[in-house]
Structure 1
Amino acid sequence: MSMKRFDQINMIPFIDIMLVLLAIVLTTATFISQGMIPVDLPTAEQVSEPSQDEEPLEIAINAQNQLFLAGDAVTIEQLGEKLGAQATPETLIVLRIDKAAVFEHFVKLIDLLKTKELNNLSIQAQQEP
């Protein structure tokens, strides 16, 4: 019984793997370039854009009830510490809350903002079609 000589490399499986990796990289790069936490915003009839006088501080809660400050995942305790250092009562805070988020997390966030006397809030929503 003789062994068949191995002259060529079968490129088909290699190409398949590379195409899958390319799709993963492109998908990941899209989320990174947007710099956004995926949040499915609730809709409202009247939607106003915050003024662009100063850069707003963005706080987001996604559908998995994770809390983000300017794109970085934080706990409610860490958020309290960072807001004390970064925000003043005049700082505009934009809230992006996923419509599937548990309401309790929104209440805790508002309570924290009240204790820090941060009342300059804008709640982001989508325009109803």
Structure 2
Amino acid sequence: MPGVSSRGRGRRTINEINMVPFIDVMLVLLIIFMVTAPLITPSLIDLPTVGRGNKPPDRKLEVVVGKDEKLVLKSGDDSRNLSLAELAASVVAAQAGQPPNSVAVVISADRSVKYETVVMVMDTLQKAGVQRVGLSVQVVR
């Protein structure tokens, strides 16, 4: 029942929120969280480490994605313009006869190229079964 205040002639109700039940609920929740927090074990995430690879690749193929999203496959002194469909076959042919994981493919892209294009190149190489694919980055100092 709301509190009643008698002031002067009439009786007036006091419109205030009763804070006691609210405080009781908050204290109970606080105690529950304090008790259960130590019982929750955080999950461990296995993050990759930064460092040098075990063995550098014997050969390196470089796929360059230009500003106009044209692909160039560089192998040593040889460079060829390719379409996305021809890229996988050319990389697999260049890796043929080599020991597994001895030929690495490095993707270099211009800064203005859409990220989607680089992902499409990586996806194409992955579907073709290429094992070692890396991204070339420029270190800003």
- The TM-score bracket by the shorter chain reads 0.5 to 0.7
Query: SS at the partner of 1:56?
Result: strand
Query: Percent of aligned positions with the same letter in both sequences?
Result: 17
Q: Structure 2 vs 1, CA of residues 75 and 62 (structure 1 numbering), >3 Å: closer, same or farther? A: same
State the 4+ residue runs in structure 1 displaced beyond 4 angstroms.
46-49
Once residues 84 and 59 of structure 2 are traced to their aligned partners in structure 1, the CA distance between those partners, rounded to angstroms, is 22
Q: Could you tell me how far apart the structure 2 residues matched to 1:108 and 1:115 are?
A: 10
Note the aligned Cα RMSD (angstroms): 2.4
- Rounded to whole Å, the distance in 2 between the matches of 1:47 and 1:101 is 28
Larger RCO (alpha carbons 8 Å, 6+ apart): 1
Q: Tell me which residue corresponds to 1:84.
A: 92
Distance in structure 2 (CA, Å) of the matches to 1:77 and 1:111: 12
Gaps of 5+ in 2: 1-49
Q: What residue is the counterpart of 2:70 in the other structure?
A: 66
Q: CA deviation at 1:121?
A: 1.9
The structure that is helix-richer by fraction is 1
Considering fraction of residues, name the structure with more strand.
2
Deviation at 1:113, TM superposition (A): 1.1
Q: What secondary structure, in the 3-state scheme, does the structure 1 residue paired with 2:72 have?
A: strand
Equivalenced residues, count: 83
Q: TM-score scaled to structure 1, two decimals?
A: 0.55
In the TM superposition, 1:38-57 aligns within 5 A as 52-57=56-61
